[in-house]
Amino acid sequence: MNLDEKKPIAYKANGEPIYSLDDLHKENFVDKANNTNFNPDSNAINLGADTGSEESSVLPNQVVETPASAPVQPQAVYLARPAEGHDVDIPPEIARKHSESIRMYPNLNLSEQEYVISSFKRYSIGILPIWIMGLIDALALVIGSPFLIKSAQEFLPSFGIILPDNFSNIALLIVAFAIILLATFVYVATYVYNSNHFYLTNESVIQVIRDGLFSKREQTITLGNIEDASYSQKGIMQNLFNYGTIRLSTEGDETTYTFTYTHYPEREKNLLNDAVEAFKLGRKVRDSDEFQGRG
């Protein structure tokens, strides 16, 4: 059948006629073959069979779907990740504080923008009982050893115990050895006590806890996980010498962390709360000099 050139051979989706195959190809309307008859009232498209070629796939009075009306298929976009991270601009003040913290606390593993706000050990008053007991025991040995040696020389022979001629020298060596052991015990106890540290940084709280000469543990709590910080002082001694216990409670697991014998606990608690608030709100942490109560 010969088609009249003035008659349209196809229609666009909006009803506009197409008169030639060249125009059809220019408009890029042959993406999918739809052998349907055009219904001008409903602009409907009735699917038919695919003939296998572009010319035969478009019939007269056929509506061809435009690319604009075709459904958009989702596409996956893959982005290449750089092999090396970009350098972050660190404010000079934070960089200076970070360098100072690295120099002063080489044992801490600080992040690139982390610095120490406050650090302290247990208050020395807590070790005084051990020092006092050690001193009393040492004085008792030094002062009482001559009387003990003399008493042993007088009474032991009456029980049939024969003492060597150099008994006094041997006894003095034993006393000296006991004093050395006592001094070693006091030194080790002092070392263990002073090895407990509390570090507050602008990102976390770090506690180094040593329970014995060969028992040490480290606890790191991110400031964002701290729910509450408080302190307590009990008894006349703690209030008189201004020391107490700091308590931290965390979110989620509701774990409580404590640090005993903290000097000026109220000040350290306020400094800690300010650091937690600054971390969560993204503001600058106040300097420790702005908090009163320690000097």
How many C-beta atoms lie closer than 10 Å to residue 224's C-beta? Answer: 12
Residue 6's pLDDT is what? 58
Question: How far is residue 142's CA from residue 159's CA, in Å, rounded to a whole number?
Answer: 27
Question: How far is residue 285's CA from residue 273's CA, in Å, rounded to a whole number?
Answer: 10
When divided into structural domains, the chain yields a total of 3
265, 287 contact by CB (below 8 A): no
Residue 3's pLDDT is what? 44
Residue 38's pLDDT is what? 44
Question: How far is residue 257's CA from residue 173's CA, in Å, rounded to a whole number?
Answer: 47
Domain end marker among 160, 193, 226: 193
Residue 195's pLDDT is what? 95
Looking at the structure, tell me whether residues 45 and 108 fall in a common domain: no
Looking at the structure, tell me whether residues 131 and 183 fall in a common domain: yes
Q: Where are the alpha helices (DSSP H) in the chain?
A: 21-26, 54-57, 92-104, 128-155, 167-194, 235-240, 265-281
Closest CA to 140 of 181, 179, 170: 179
Domain end marker among 176, 193, 210: 193
Looking at the structure, tell me whether residues 273 and 202 fall in a common domain: yes
Looking at the structure, tell me whether residues 138 and 224 fall in a common domain: no
Report if residue 85 sits inside a domain: no
Closest CA to 138 of 187, 80, 201: 187
Taking the mean position of all CA atoms in its chain, how far away is CA 94? 18
Phi, psi of 160 (to 5 degrees): 85, 10
Looking at the structure, tell me whether residues 277 and 211 fall in a common domain: yes
Looking at the structure, tell me whether residues 172 and 106 fall in a common domain: no
245, 259 contact by CB (below 8 A): yes
Report if residue 295 sits inside a domain: no
Residue 33's pLDDT is what? 44
Question: What single-letter amino acid sits at 235?
Answer: G
Residue 71's pLDDT is what? 56
Domain end marker among 170, 193, 216: 193
122, 262 contact by CB (below 8 A): yes
The pair of structure tokens assigned to 122 is 């247990």
User: What per-residue string of b and e applies to 90-124 under the rule 16 or more CB within 10 Å gives b?
Assistant: eeeeeeebbeebeeebeebebeeebbbbbbbbbbe
Question: What single-letter amino acid sits at 162?
Answer: I
Looking at the structure, tell me whether residues 69 and 101 fall in a common domain: no
User: Concatenated DSSP letters for 118-183?
Assistant: EEEE--GGGGHHHHHHHHHHHHHHHHHHHHHHHHHHHHTGGGTPPPPTTHHHHHHHHHHHHHHHHH
Q: What is the CATH number of the domain that holds 260?
A: 2.30.29.30
Range(s) of the domain holding residue 139: 127-193
Report if residue 294 sits inside a domain: no
Looking at the structure, tell me whether residues 217 and 71 fall in a common domain: no
Report if residue 264 sits inside a domain: yes
From first to last of its 295 residues, the chain has per-residue pLDDT tens of: 444 455 666 666 666 777 666 666 666 544 444 444 444 444 444 444 444 444 444 455 555 555 555 555 555 544 455 555 556 678 899 999 999 999 999 999 999 999 999 999 999 999 999 999 999 999 999 998 888 888 888 877 777 777 788 888 888 899 999 999 999 999 999 999 999 999 999 999 999 999 998 999 999 999 999 999 999 999 999 999 999 999 999 987 778 899 999 999 999 999 999 999 999 998 888 776 666 555 4
Looking at the structure, tell me whether residues 45 and 185 fall in a common domain: no
Looking at the structure, tell me whether residues 209 and 164 fall in a common domain: no
CA distance to 105, 200, 204, 268, 282, per residue, from 222 (Å) = 18, 10, 4, 17, 14
Residue 200's pLDDT is what? 96
Looking at the structure, tell me whether residues 228 and 96 fall in a common domain: yes
Looking at the structure, tell me whether residues 109 and 65 fall in a common domain: no
